[in-house]
Amino acid sequence: MKLLKKFASFNLIIIFIIFSCTNFNEIDNNNISEEFIPPPEMEFFGFRRESYNTNFKQMELFATNAKFYEKRKMIELYDMQTYTYESNKKVAARVSGDFVNVNQDSLFIDIFTNVVAKSSNNTTLYSEHVQWDNQNKLFMSPGPVKVEQEDGSWLTGSSMIGDMSMENIIIYNEVDEGNAIGVPIEEEQ
């Protein structure tokens, strides 16, 4: 019994020391560091979204994980694939990427890592970072790009800007790589 009383009094002393060393005045002052990222308000696994016009499906989006941050007005998507459709139910474009940031106010979209965008005219864009400016309806890539055109030829460049249909693309520091299919390997001399 004496041992139990000593143990209880020892615990009370430890608890008193902990509480006396704690400054409770600063607990509610919101002293959160700038590096602190609060958890998302909503999170979905196996996320899917469809957008319809009155007669047809316009867009379909799939992601393995979606995080919604209401206070920051930001959505994060992981392993995303988006399909846009024409009125005849044909896929107009397909865009995929490993990580996506969507600004909920301006709908400005940043797509990162293994970005592939393919349009219905068989033009395919490969990059590590692509942006979509919803106000100007333009694709942009601030980093290196590769574009495979419908005839099988390749273009590379340091950055690009283009419209939604990928018919009017400007590639900066463009290099024509020629026909990538069936190009003979240079023989050793």
Which carries the bigger pLDDT value, residue 145 or residue 23? 145
**pLDDT at position 4:** 63
What percent of the chain clears pLDDT 70, i.e. is strictly above it? 77
Q: Which domains does the chain have, with CATH numbers?
A: 42-179 (2.60.450.10)
Give the pLDDT band (50/70/90) at residue 114: very high
Residue 25 DSSP code: G
CA torsion 93-98-103-104 (nearest 10°) is 70
The model scores a pTM over 0.75: no
Whether pLDDT at 76 is above 60: yes
Token pair for residue 27? 């607990």
Q: Could you give the maximum distance between any two Cα atoms of the chain, in Å?
A: 94
- Angle subtended at Cα 154 by Cα 153 and Cα 159, rounded to the nearest 5 degrees: 150
Cβ neighbours of residue 90 closer than 8 Å, sequence gap 6 or more: 120
Whether pLDDT at 10 is above 60: yes
Taking the C-alpha atoms of residue 171 and residue 162, their distance in angstroms, rounded to an integer, is 8
- Using one digit for the tens of pLDDT, what is the confidence trace for 137-154? 888 999 899 988 888 888
Mean pLDDT of 56-63: 88
Report which of 173, 93, 102 is spatially closest to residue 125, judged by C-alpha positions: 93
Whether pLDDT at 49 is above 70: yes
User: Taking a C-beta distance cutoff of 8 angstroms, is the pair 123, 147 a contact?
Assistant: yes
Taking the C-alpha atoms of residue 183 and residue 173, their distance in angstroms, rounded to an integer, is 22
Q: Locate tokens 């393995």: which residue?
A: 64
